[in-house]
Amino acid sequence: MDVTANRLAFLAGAGSLVILLAAFGFQHIGELAPCKLCFWQRYPHGVAISLAVIFSRVKHRLLLWLGGVASLSTAAIAAYHSGVEQKWWRGPDTCTSGSIDGLSTEQLLAQIMAAPIIRCDEIAWSFLSLSMASWNLIASLLLAALWFYAWRIWPRPDISASLRS
């Protein structure tokens, strides 16, 4: 089987679709509610799927590059989320718990009442010691590699001919 940009774009788009379907499966079948950062990771996958569909009709090299950027975007969000889960850095105040040192009873109660139900700094599920965010990071980097390789092997327009005229 020949490796072509068309096949690579299809595989990358299909990979994002599989990741999204798995996320929805964990959410609706496994009853693991997603946090705010989990939702953020889904959007670039949707963009990548759309770009793959558009590329199947409109063969433009820029779409391949944009697919790679979409996959890198979700990988960056996943890396950030993985760091929040590992307590390497703080996550958004709207989905992590804050320090309770020095808080009055009223302030503590207010923090508890304002706390989100699903926290970004807790690992809801893991496999081989990697959280869903970490697996998404790995998969998204692989998908980005497919997109960028497709971009690299897609024929570039010959601008020298237009410069001569």
Look up the pTM and report it. 0.77
Q: Contact, 71 vs 15, CB < 8 A?
A: no
Domain interval for residue 95: 5-164
pLDDT the model gives residue 54: 95
Which own/partner contact pairs does 55-62 have at CB distance under 8 Å and 24+ positions apart?
A: 55/6, 55/9, 55/13, 56/6, 56/9, 56/10, 59/6, 61/151, 61/154, 61/156, 61/157
pLDDT the model gives residue 159: 61
User: What CATH number has the domain bearing residue 9?
Assistant: 1.20.1550.10
Mean pLDDT of 79-103: 73
pLDDT range class, residue 102, cuts 50, 70, 90: low
pLDDT range class, residue 36, cuts 50, 70, 90: confident
pLDDT range class, residue 140, cuts 50, 70, 90: very high
Number of domains into which the chain is organized: 1
